[in-house]
Amino acid sequence: MDRRQWMQFALTSALSSSAAMSPTLFAQDTKDIPKLTLSGVDANGKKIELTDFLGKTVLVSFFTAGCNLCSRDLKLMREFYVSNAKRNFVLLAVNIDPTKADFDQYSQLISLSIPKEQRFPMVWRNAPNHKDSFGIITRQPTHFVVSAKNEFIFKREGSFEPEDWDNLWTSLG
């Protein structure tokens, strides 16, 4: 049992005895979450599957091009990606803009402004051939951390918090 599982177990055990607490306040037990899937085409036309990254911790970030908070998070995540790519870490950006033109414009901006070694895979969720099991995204950005065994670790709606960075770092092993 790793540190995160132990902490979840301890917290759940301690608080489950309290009738005043609602179970909806707690994260869903990870064994109840199905394996996450994603299949699409990146900004360069390359087919991408979440299973392509087995053996690596994957941070899947859902964002829109015009979201300032998303831009801030992606900048920090790019720095983390560059520093940890050799530690079996992948950042996978999933654009949720409504139009392909918005996605293409953002992709072009990235290709012109970001050095090639700092770029990470990016897909457009609304593409006709895109499929994933991440559910409805209601906040921008929304991030999922997936283990090297393709198991859900945690989800953050909104900006990554300091403890999220710690948990991401720990998940790299």
In a domain, residue 46? The reply is yes
pLDDT of residue 85: 87
How many CA atoms does the CB half-sphere of 32 hold within 13 Å?
3
CA distance 21 to 113: 49
The per-residue pLDDT for range 136-163, each reduced to its tens digit, is 999 999 999 999 999 999 999 999 999 9
Predicted local distance difference test score (pLDDT) of residue 35: 80
In a domain, 29, yes or no: no
**Rounded-to-integer distance, Cα 105 and Cα 120, Å:** 16
Instruction: Provide the pLDDT for residue 173.
Output: 80
Integer-rounded Cα radius of gyration of the chain: 17
Structural contact between residues 158 and 139, judged by C-beta atoms closer than 8 angstroms? yes
23 within some domain:
no
The count of other CB atoms within 10 Å of the CB of residue 16 is 11
Total domains in the fold of the chain: 1
**What is the tally of helices (H) and strands (E) in the chain?**
4, 8
Q: Domain range spanning residue 129?
A: 35-171
Element (H, E) at 104: helix 100-113
The answer to whether residue 19 sits within a structural domain is no
User: What is the residue type of 171?
Assistant: S
Whole-prediction pTM: 0.80
In order, the DSSP letters of 139-161 are SSSEEEEE-TTS-EEEEEESSPP
**pLDDT at 32 (0 to 100):** 55
Which residues of the chain fall below pLDDT 50? Answer: 1-30
C-alpha 56/C-alpha 146 separation (Å) is 9
CATH label of the domain that carries residue 91: 3.40.30.10
Residue 146 included in any domain = yes
What does the block give as tokens for 45?
A: 């036309």
To the nearest 10°, the Cα dihedral for 117, 147, 80, 28?
140
In a domain, 143, yes or no: yes
